[in-house]
């Protein structure tokens, strides 16, 4: 008889616990703090700076002309002329930055603009 009462009491406790488990569930509430727009802009600026910092050496040393400094470079030619006693004028001034290494940083205006970026490519 003792065993039966113990089992009955245990079943009653388990049933009571199950009944309380079916009570109304409380939905979790998310509360957002005050939105700081200035901090969001600062964070975005830092993220952009760090991503450009890693990318700028790649941009500065990017080789856009794969045949540069090779014997088969089609741009490695030049035409030169001289009129009377004036200085000779040739196309080497324009094509030499392209044919030397063929990197973006070697171009006259683009290379100067890339110097603004952080990092040391080259």
Which residue did the predictor score with more confidence, 19 or 41? 41
- pLDDT tens-digit profile of 4-15? 444 455 555 555
C-alpha 87/C-alpha 83 separation (Å) is 8
Query: What predicted TM-score, i.e. pTM, was given to this entire model?
Result: 0.39
CB 103 within 8 A of CB 63: yes
């Amino acid at each position: 008889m003792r065993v039966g009462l113990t089992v009955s009491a245990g079943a009653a406790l388990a049933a009571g616990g199950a009944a309380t488990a079916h009570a109304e569930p409380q939905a979790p509430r998310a509360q957002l703090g005050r939105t700081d727009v200035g901090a969001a802009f600062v964070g975005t600026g830092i993220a952009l700076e760090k991503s450009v910092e890693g990318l700028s050496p790649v941009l500065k040393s990017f080789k856009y002309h794969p045949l540069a400094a090779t014997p088969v470079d089609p741009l490695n030619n030049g035409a030169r002329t001289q009129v009377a006693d004036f200085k000779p004028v040739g196309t080497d001034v324009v094509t030499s930055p392209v044919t030397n290494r063929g990197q973006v940083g070697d171009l006259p205006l683009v290379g100067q603009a890339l110097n603004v970026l952080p990092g040391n490519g080259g």
